[in-house]
Structure 1
Amino acid sequence: MGAIVAITLTFSSCSLISFNHNAIKVNESNKQLVQVQAPAKIPTTKEIVDTLASNEFEGRFIGSKGNEKAGQYISKIFKDMELKPLFGDTYYDGYLQEISKQYGDGQFESFEAYKENTRVSTVNNVIGVIKGKDSKKAVIVSAHFDHLGDVDGKIIRGALDNASGVSALIKIANTLQEKSTEKSFDEDIIFCAFNGEEEALAGSRAFVDEIKSKKLYDSIYNINIDSIGAKDGGNLALKNMSKVSNKLYDAVKTTLKNDNIGFADTRVKGAGDHLSFENAGISNVFFVQEGIEKLVHKPTDTPDILDYNQIDKIANSISNFIQENNGVVFND
């Protein structure tokens, strides 16, 4: 659970004193070293982005050591927050992934060249859950943590894409976990740090297939966060392109308006993990910024381009939405 704090206390009498539910035994000199369990410190939004975008994490390309370290880092935070694993006794949820030597290596001259440069390996999503009263209903909050790695000798750090989303995911999880200690939610709240988004949404597709094949839930919806908080990114692009999510989008927009979060009826090019839910007929909403096309997949996608207060505001609004809509089923 975190660090052990040493405290020296001096007492004039009594040999046994209760302090924060811990027994404290006073020695002959009336001085005793007391051990008090301190709660684990959850990293700030900026600390998370700085870590995921650092040299150590190598751009988080899937199958790389940096990608594995990112999964370990997120898993440790989930453990410190005391989230429950969704599957078994680990936050890791493995699936098979085709891995090339580098992002964009899909253009091979021949099938033989493809085989030489590609392997199939088991990689992990990182999944945690706050258990609610009704184990057949769930909201799934997701953000991908993989990125492009080293391209042409330069690390593509992916601060905006998508360390920003992961930092928001963790802030939401921490906020709602603290709320759940006061009163249980009416549904499970699942937090998915997906792998393989940059490789055809592989991690989220594997997860959706798994929860559907195991018939874990009768009712679920997805909130996917990908590339938010850029200083020059504009408003959230909240155009509803889904065929199954009208009620969910309307409810989300109501909360954003109440929280003074700017959004526009625009869309961005490209795919995101919400599409894995869309293709399975599951309601989903996509949190992404308007102007990301000019900012992502470049060496300049570094932590200094982000507004961390804005990321926190969006994360707080998503937390508010989940609390305000506790147990609500969003089916069109």
Structure 2
Amino acid sequence: MVGYIKGTDSKKAIIISAHFDGRGIRDGDIYRSAMDNASGVAALIKMAEELKQVSLDNPFESNIIFCAFNGEEQLYIGSTAFVNQSKSQPWYENMYNINIDSIGERDGGRLIFPNVSEYSVELYEDVKNAMEKSGIVFAELERPITSDHRSFEKVGKANICITQEDWLEWIHKPIDTPDILDYTEIEKIANALSDFVIDNDGTVY
């Protein structure tokens, strides 16, 4: 599912993504996938609402594209298809991806940004500054994780994945239910990322 806010410069785009697929039912157990990744989709929707309102009075320079991807659990085939289709058309000269995957667990530790992308050094620094301004505690992870941002990494586009420190304790398990989430924290993260998009609109990464 894709929606967008049209900017004034069609050569620039910000891709904000989260995957909506989960584990479903396995061996009689229901995998509700609240953290992984209803939390990310909720943040994406919140950002879309906020940024749309801002754009009514102050149009963005960049196109802002919101992607809810399917197939992340199958090694991000949804985002791969999106990237491949985009490559078959005139590709944005300047674009980057903010991917949100598994946030807001009450006991899940700090936010983390897997900082291993050779294309994304400046993007990482600016997102970190936005988080600091919003009072959000975060840490860096010096190893890759698998999520939809990897599809953008493969084609040399700047990208960042927002996730949580102890995500492996909760994902892909029946205990990943809505009651483990801190909805205020999810909203806070969405607001911080929206502020980043507003403050850095038009920046080339």
TM-score by length of 2: 0.97
- Find the counterpart in structure 1 of residue 128 from structure 2: 253
Q: CA deviation at 1:266?
A: 2.5
Q: CA deviation at 1:268?
A: 7.1
Are 1:165 and 2:45 matched, yes or no? no
Residues in 1 aligned to 2:145 and 2:199: alpha-carbon distance in whole angstroms: 31
Q: Is the 8 A contact 1:226 1:288 kept in 2?
A: yes
**Identity over aligned residues, as a percent?**
52
Are 1:280 and 2:155 matched, yes or no? yes
- Find the counterpart in structure 1 of residue 2 from structure 2: 127
Change beyond 3 A, Cα 1:300–1:268: farther
Are 1:233 and 2:104 matched, yes or no? no
Q: Is the 8 A contact 2:18 2:100 kept in 1?
A: yes
User: What residue ranges of structure 2 are gaps of 5+ in the alignment?
Assistant: none
Q: CA deviation at 1:269?
A: 6.8
- Give the length in aligned residue pairs: 205
Map 1:67-106; keep pairs closer than 5 Å.
none
Q: CA deviation at 1:239?
A: 3.6
Q: CA deviation at 1:181?
A: 0.6
Q: Is the 8 A contact 1:268 1:290 kept in 2?
A: no
Residues in 2 aligned to 1:156 and 1:313: alpha-carbon distance in whole angstroms: 26
Moved over 6 A (4+): none
Map 1:123-272; keep pairs closer than 5 Å.
126-266=1-141, 270-272=145-147
Q: Is the 8 A contact 1:165 1:227 kept in 2?
A: yes
Change beyond 3 A, Cα 1:268–1:308: farther
Residues in 1 aligned to 2:92 and 2:141: alpha-carbon distance in whole angstroms: 32
User: What residue ranges of structure 1 are gaps of 5+ in the alignment?
Assistant: 1-125
- Find the counterpart in structure 2 of residue 318 from structure 1: 193
Are 1:300 and 2:175 matched, yes or no? yes
Residues in 2 aligned to 1:189 and 1:164: alpha-carbon distance in whole angstroms: 20
Give the SS at the match of 2:159. Answer: strand
Larger Rg: 1
Which amino acid is the alignment partner of residue 46 of structure 2? K
Q: CA deviation at 1:216?
A: 3.7
- Find the counterpart in structure 2 of residue 111 from structure 1: none
Residues in 2 aligned to 1:316 and 1:282: alpha-carbon distance in whole angstroms: 24
Residues in 2 aligned to 1:271 and 1:252: alpha-carbon distance in whole angstroms: 20
TM-score by length of 1: 0.61
Change beyond 3 A, Cα 1:239–1:265: same
1:168-207 per-residue CA deviation (whole Å, 9 max, x = no partner) reads: 0000000000001111100100000000000111000000
Give the SS at the match of 2:150. Answer: helix
Residues in 2 aligned to 1:318 and 1:298: alpha-carbon distance in whole angstroms: 28
Q: Is the 8 A contact 1:268 1:293 kept in 2?
A: no
Which amino acid is the alignment partner of residue 215 of structure 1? P
The worse-fitting range, judged by mean Cα deviation, of 162-171 and 144-153 is 144-153
Which amino acid is the alignment partner of residue 152 of structure 1? D
Which amino acid is the alignment partner of residue 161 of structure 1? D
